Chains A and B, each alone.
Chain A
Amino acid sequence: MLIIYLLLSMLSGVTLVIARIINSNLAARIGTYQGTLVNYIVGLFFSLLFFLINKEAVDLSYVHVSSIPFWAYLGGLGGVIIIVASNYLTPKISAFYLTLLLFVGQLFVGIIIDYLLLQEFSTGKLIGGILVALGLTYNLFLDKKTTLKTE
């Protein structure tokens, strides 16, 4: 059973990459903002559909709406910035570098957030992140060399 969860976990990464590329292909056809709009309409439709099928228990009386900070609702706006930007970036950069640069940016800000909010500091994440960034820089450097040679 464990192996299935390991595979599903990897698959979630694969779907991330594929969705990003399909979105940017659509954006190339109908425009970046328009593509983002379509993404949200389709996403909302299927969120509602899965919500209805799954019948996730929502006992709103249990949810302390007043205890949820206002800023928590703004995540969707961050998503808009990310999708608009990645529709712009995806055709300009290889899928591999896009994946890793996004990851490095996410990881280091994640480390800062954990430290500021939870006073938690993960040495493993920092060392691992530095290794990923080093490997990435090395490969970027190789790319620079090959493009210089071919030019």
Chain B
Amino acid sequence: MIYVITLLIGAINSIMILLNGTLSASYGNLSSSIIIHTVGLIGIIFVLLITKTRFKLDRGIPLYLYSAGFIGIGTVLLTNVSYANLGVSLHLALSLLGQTVSSLIIDHFGLLGMKTAKFNPKKSVGLLLIVFGILVMTVYK
């Protein structure tokens, strides 16, 4: 079930890329980022109000836990630079490679509070298929 939800979220992501892409084509990247974040902020405030969620900040939380929104802007800027210089498909393939390798490392060592999932050498077969798939997408349009 968790896997199905994850697939659906990926699907929503595709729709979102279409919407945000349409917006940034007209407004530019940073201006549209402001619009996107404002709409999102209104959306989540609405959710908080409907669910009557109380908001309390815990002072003991390390500062870096608040940095995801900042890192997200980093992703946008890095993506823009690579898009402009490498084209869409090569960028997507390399970004996926970066995601795959970093998540394998994070899983293997249990970094950032994730559960440790040691890499099973038998999985190299599946990994090879995945890398080959990424390669096909990049080379053969």
Instruction: Choose from B47, B61, B130 the contact partner of A132 (Cβ within 8 Å).
Output: B130
Whether the pair A51, B82 counts as a contact (CB closer than 8 A) is no
Q: Considering the chains assembled together, what is the distance between the CA atoms of A142 and B77 in angstroms?
A: 37
In the assembled complex, which residues on chain A have CB atoms less than 8 Å from the CB atom of B68?
A: 19-20, 22-23, 26, 39, 42
In the assembled complex, which residues on chain A have CB atoms less than 8 Å from the CB atom of B138?
A: 128
Chain B 62-75 near chain A by CB (<8 Å), digits 1 or 0: 00111111111111
* A interface size (C-beta, 8 A): 108
Interface of B is mostly: helix
Interface of A is mostly: helix
Instruction: Choose from B22, B102, B122 the contact partner of A18 (Cβ within 8 Å).
Output: B102
Q: Measured between C-beta atoms, what is the minimum distance from B47 to chain A in Å?
A: 6
- The residues of B with any CB-CB pair to A shorter than 8 Å are 2-3, 5-20, 22-23, 26-31, 33-45, 47-48, 51, 53, 55-58, 61, 64-75, 77-79, 81-82, 85-86, 90-91, 94-104, 106-107, 112-115, 117, 120, 122-123, 125-130, 132-141
Q: Which 4 A-B pairs have the closest CB atoms?
A: A105-B10, A13-B98, A135-B129, A42-B69
